[in-house]
Amino acid sequence: MKIRKSATTSVDKIEQQMTPMIDIVFLLLIFFMFSFKIASPEGDFNIKMPVASQVTTETETPAIPIKVRLRADAAGNLAAIVMNDRDLGTDFGQLQLQIISIVGGDAGPGSAADTTECELECDYHLRYETVIEVITAISGYVEGNQIVKLIQKIRFSPPRNSR
């Protein structure tokens, strides 16, 4: 039996409508381009802040052994670091050494680094930049690629005005 070729099927080429797809694709591209923001990678300090009025029992950690007072000058820059009534000038390295001498290389749950609390007493107008520098010195340091954690419990006492 002879099969006839249909005149309409073989010759016509079915063309896909590309325009709607291109429209959507460009809309997507514009959306992603506008929502794209270049941001520098940020690091963070994870600290636990117990409240000042929290009652501690005798079996718990003893009262705050480390008290760091941060004095500011008129411009809000650091004027002095006083740790447990000892003036350390404005040297963050010295502060860190003092912290290491108290906490030592003890690490892990229940260690001195884990249980020791530090209270920061800052002047009203002290810049946040300085507060972070102090938290840096208190909370740890990097040794090679290893992070050595020092004090993780940091508490702020109400700001003071030393002027």
Residue ranges that bind another protein, judged by CB under 8 A: 18, 22, 25-26, 28-29, 32-33, 35-37, 39-51, 72, 76, 122-129, 131-133, 135-136, 139-142, 147-149, 156, 158-159
Pair 140, 107: CB distance under 8 Å: no
Least gap, CB of 76 to another protein (angstroms):
6
Which lies closer to another protein via its Cβ, residue 6 or residue 146? 146
CA pair distance 16, 14, nearest whole angstrom: 7
Which lies closer to another protein via its Cβ, residue 6 or residue 158? 158
Which lies closer to another protein via its Cβ, residue 1 or residue 39? 39
- For the chain, the distance separating the N- and C-terminal CA atoms, rounded to the nearest angstrom, is 111
Which lies closer to another protein via its Cβ, residue 103 or residue 122? 122
Least gap, CB of 2 to another protein (angstroms):
33
Least gap, CB of 84 to another protein (angstroms):
20
Sign of the CA dihedral running 68, 48, 108, 131: negative
Of residues 127, 123, 68, the one with CA closest to residue 94: 68
Least gap, CB of 143 to another protein (angstroms):
9
List phi, psi (to 5°) of 96. -65, -40
Sign of the CA dihedral running 65, 151, 53, 60: negative
